[in-house]
Amino acid sequence: MSTAKRQSTVPAGPKPPVNFSSTVTIPKDAVLQGTHSITIQSETLIHPRARLDSNLGSILVGRRSIVQERAQIGVEPQNIDAAVPGGVSLGDYVVVEVNAVIEAGGTEIGDGSVVQVGSRIGSGAKIGKDCTIAARATVAPGTVLPDQTVVLSNGQQRADKRLADARKLSTLKQINVVRKMIRNDQDKFK
Amino acid sequence: MASSPPYTYIQCPCSNEEPAEGSDASSPESDSFHDAERTFDPRAPRSNYSLYPLEYLLYCEECQQIRCPRCVDEEIVTYYCPNCLFEVASSNLRSDGNRCTRNCYQCPICSGPVQVGEVQAEPETNLLSADNATAAPHGPYALFCQYCSWVSSEIGLEFERASGIPSQLAKMKNGGIPRITAKELKERRKEDPDMPPLEDELVDAELQYSALRSFYQSQINGPSNGLPGGLSLGDGHNFSSPAALTRMMSMWQPGGRGAQGKTAGPPDVFPEATDTDKGLKLAQLDESAKVQKLLNGGWNETVSKDQLLGQLEHAHFQDELRPLQCVLRTKRSRRCAVCRHIISKPENKVASTRFKIKLVAKSYIPSISIRPLEPRAPPVPVGMRPQQPQEPPLKPLQPYQYILTFKNPLFEKLKVTLATPNNTPGRFSSKVALLCPQFDIDPVKDMWEDALDGDDRSRTEETGQAEAGKIYKRGRNWVSIILEVIPPLLSVDSLRPHTASGEPTDRSPLREDEKILEIPMFVRMEWEPEAQHDVGDRVGKDRNEGQKRELAYWCVLGVGQISHE
Amino acid sequence: MSRRQVKGDYIETETGNKVSRKANLLGTQNMVLGGKVVIQPEVMIRGDLVRTAPSSSSSGGTTAPSTTAIQTGRYCFFSKGVVLRPPGRRYKGQFSHMPMRIGHHVFIGQDTVVQAATIGDHVRIGKNCVIGEFAIIKECVEVLDGAVVPPNMVIPNYSIVAGQPARVVGEVPEGGGPEENGLRGLYSTVGNNPQNPDM
């Protein structure tokens, strides 16, 4: 029942130029494709089947971030007419959860923000620091969110008054545990 | 509950039992006859309240009738907290109210569950060094909502201990200001009798209520304080107190009021509370602070209707909301409203999913499923299953055939007679024909019989064709027949100017539910209960032995969507 | 688990589990499938995220002996695109995943992401739902399509929940209880020799 034998199904697109820190953990069944550069900074953790696409612009993932399985970063915008050229830039301690979609087009996500399960960030949105995009919430293209904003699934926004550092610490601890469970295969992408 | 076609809803007969129809009510036979004659209109406004999917219906063995949620009476078996799943004794309910008194709270903002956690999660370790977590400090604690990131320290609620949140919360107002309880006030007053009454801002609803209560209590219990007149003005609004009741009773006793006068008991006229200690609180008419807050905070700072509904006190702004104690939930038994027999009773224990008694309609009446004879939707690929194939809308004035499958849940042979109107009721009426309206369905066999009979496939008798008067397919305990429909043209212009009765036709634009092809169908079933196989294994067995039982009801088949331009 | 059939879109195990070859199962050694479980294409199960909690050593580096990360009962059905992921949290200062337990006759609809701690028997979860971390779903619960069950929520028996965040919106009627789940029938409609869904 192991799936390890048939990894050839990963589409053989152009291999993007990558720039990894040596402490990045990325398994071989993560999907990196595109033509622009993909930069992943130190101690960041990429889960299997996460998808980073640099076709529309370069992708930067900051330090100590987590990109979970099936998250898609750098997706072609839904509304291609309104899209701006550009890639995606994630700050430090950013967590992109399962099935989250971040559209390309100069999209920025600030340090310590969490993009939860199944949410969608529109092209060119600027998410501040320590924000939370709740599960299945949508951030419209071009939205600018101040620091510590919570966006709920119904579109409602509120200010997060928790201490942001506690969450960063959690993220760090999670990285330190999970990186041992994921077989790192940086070389495949180089 | 299925909402898109195909579906089958069953009409509970309780909606026909109208006590108002005096002439018919006396003779039940004529009533049922009357029922059978009349066509049931699934779009009639009242039908909304009598149509149920089969799973929602119960069956009363005693009345031999279908029972729906509207014609049963409910009785509470167990109270429990939906969050901690602890059972609450009904005696506690009286003292503590219908909310969980453990640490179960809901977020006042989003209604999600909140957890108790430490506010200072961990000392500030240098994040970029290592995870050298030192000994965790204790407290202060706060309530955290994991969904919307609300934390109770936002509104100044922090707790010393992680347990016993309700008692800590009761002593605290939003903002962490200690709340003055009536007891405290009393003690303070005892120490310093000359203490001036509290300022109005410090008196919250609870304190005011307790002050008012003690004020009026003292008057009810106290001797009549000699207010002259003795006019019975007070009677009008004191019906709820038992004292008022006895007083009223005494009025009817011969010579009661006049002769005895008011020797004891409460006075007829109650003075009103005149100061803070008695529970007077002046309305705050100066709302400039609120207006200012609204100007600064804007719409997002105000509470929504949903948020307000959960609150005990009125609030204008988000920061006035308090965490909500979880409202208890119940397990309930159901009685037939006619014969008072219990027809459903869950086990008492909270964790149990079993029922002591459960007489559900689906173990008495056949289930009906609908599917097209020739599906036009492509089959769902195996990997996508179980997705429902989406049939395209039906084209007007074209015949369509559907397979209706009836499954017998009984251990007896079931004789089924069906009837549908040739034309469905409503402005746009479809033509309907049942190719085989009368058939028998074999009983459910128990496992042994089934094993002895061998493969049930050998016994299936298949016509496999849509032939009039013949069953389409027959299985072990099911029968399929063919239903033919011709949907109407959904165009207001195509309607005749007058109905059969001569009234002008309703020419209003097409309504939403007129696009759905719904067919009323009358089902009459007959069976002879056998004592040894009686399903319910309940009372009234001997009496019914050898007798034929019958049950008749209307149901509605939601067949599909009709296309229109 | 031996392979009965070499060809076909599904791997059918001795205990009757039908696992699509297009499913992503990670850490299969930490998974226990209860038999007659259906795993549809593009389902992702993170058996590799095992519990590390009782690591007594102060360094926190050594992982505990690998335990079961995900356990399911009989006749579970995981539709296309489902993600099952053991929930994780900080426990005594350390981060650890915790095992996920799924009961018998549990249906999970398409593209739903589950990070629950426990899902009871006869639970039906619709499509496009998110079940938050450490949610506890008791028996015979129905989660309607698109619901977002917040982390740590407890859903009692026979509840119907919906919405974002999910709340209890109704009760499963008596007639819709455990026996009327249809997963046995559904089981036969997939696999290498699927039957027609009707009848």
Complex ipTM, two decimals? 0.86
B134 close contact with A: CB closer than 8 A:
no
C110 close contact with B: CB closer than 8 A:
yes
Q: What is the pLDDT of residue A7?
A: 45
The yes-or-no verdict on residue C13 having pLDDT over 60 is: yes
How far apart, in whole angstroms, are the C-alpha atoms of residue A35 and residue A105? Answer: 15
Chain C interface, mutation test: which of B146, B342, B477, most C Cβ atoms within 10 Å?
A: B146
Class of domain C10-51+65-188: mainly beta
Q: What is the pLDDT of residue B267?
A: 63
Residue B526: CB partners within 8 Å, gap ≥ 6? B414, B415, B416, B417, B548, B549, B550
More confident residue, C56 or C174: C174
Chain A CB contacts of C128 under 8 Å are: 118, 136
**At B170, phi and psi to the nearest 5?**
-65, -25
Q: What is the pLDDT of residue B230?
A: 41
**Bond preceding residue B6 cis, omega within 30 of 0:** yes
Contact indicator for B56, C173 with CB cutoff of 8 Å: yes
Nearest to C90 by CA among B95, B117, B476: B117
The yes-or-no verdict on residue C4 having pLDDT over 60 is: no
Q: What is the pLDDT of residue B27?
A: 43
Q: What is the CATH code for A13-180?
A: 2.160.10.10
The rounded mean pLDDT for chain C is: 86
Interface of A with C (CB under 8 A): 1-3, 6, 29, 48-49, 69-70, 98-99, 116-118, 134-136, 152-154, 170, 173-174, 176-178, 180-182
Chain A CB contacts of C33 under 8 Å are: none
Across the interface, whether the CB atoms of B387 and C110 are under 8 A apart is answered yes
Q: Band of the pLDDT at C1, cuts 50, 70, 90?
A: very low
CA-based nearest distance A8→chain B, Å:
21
Compare CB distances from B131 to A157, A158, A172 and report the shortest one's residue: A172
Instruction: Tell which C residues from 125 to 154 touch B, by Cβ distance under 8 Å.
Output: 132-133, 138-140, 148, 150-154
Chain A interface, mutation test: which of C26, C67, C94, most A Cβ atoms within 10 Å?
A: C26
Across the interface, whether the CB atoms of C94 and A48 are under 8 A apart is answered no
Lookup result for tokens 């509120």? A158
Tell me which chain A residue has its CA closest to the CA of residue B125.
Answer: A169
Tell me which chain B residue has its CA closest to the CA of residue A135.
Answer: B147
C179 close contact with B: CB closer than 8 A:
no
Across the interface, whether the CB atoms of A117 and C113 are under 8 A apart is answered yes
Across the interface, whether the CB atoms of B300 and A158 are under 8 A apart is answered yes
Tell me which chain B residue has its CA closest to the CA of residue A150.
Answer: B148
Q: Which residues of A147-158 are buried (b: 16+ CB within 10 A; e: fewer)?
A: bbbbbbbeeeeb
Q: What is the pLDDT of residue C104?
A: 93
C159 close contact with B: CB closer than 8 A:
yes
Q: Band of the pLDDT at C22, cuts 50, 70, 90?
A: very high
Chain C CB contacts of B147 under 8 Å are: 132, 148, 150-151, 165
CA-based nearest distance C7→chain B, Å:
15
Q: Which residues of chain A have pLDDT under 70?
A: 1-13, 82
DSSP state of B300: G
Alpha helices in B443-526 (DSSP H): 447-453
pLDDT tens for chain B, 565 residues long, are 345 778 899 998 887 665 544 444 344 444 444 444 567 788 887 788 889 999 899 999 888 899 998 889 999 999 999 999 999 998 888 888 888 988 899 999 888 999 998 886 554 444 444 444 444 556 788 999 989 889 888 888 888 888 888 888 888 888 777 877 777 777 877 777 777 777 777 777 788 888 888 888 888 776 554 444 444 444 444 555 666 667 666 666 655 444 444 455 556 677 787 777 777 888 778 888 888 888 888 888 888 888 888 888 888 888 888 899 999 999 999 999 889 999 999 999 999 989 999 999 988 999 998 988 888 877 788 878 777 777 888 888 889 999 999 999 888 888 999 999 888 888 888 899 988 889 899 888 766 665 565 544 444 455 667 677 788 888 888 899 999 999 988 877 777 766 666 677 777 777 777 888 889 999 999 988 765 544 444 444 445 456 788 899 999 999 888 887 6
CA-based nearest distance C109→chain B, Å:
9
Q: Band of the pLDDT at C186, cuts 50, 70, 90?
A: confident
CA-based nearest distance C68→chain B, Å:
25
**What are the angstrom distances between the C-alpha of B272 and each of B202, B210, B212, B219, B423?**
21, 15, 9, 11, 69
**What are the angstrom distances between the C-alpha of B297 and each of B149, B180, B316, B323?**
19, 29, 12, 21
Which chains are adjacent to chain A, needing at least 3 Cβ pairs under 8 Å?
B, C
B122 close contact with A: CB closer than 8 A:
yes
Which chains are adjacent to chain B, needing at least 3 Cβ pairs under 8 Å?
A, C
pTM: 0.84
Lookup result for tokens 């089902």? B523
Contact indicator for B337, B17 with CB cutoff of 8 Å: no
CA-based nearest distance C186→chain B, Å:
7
Tell me which chain C residue has its CA closest to the CA of residue B356.
Answer: C174
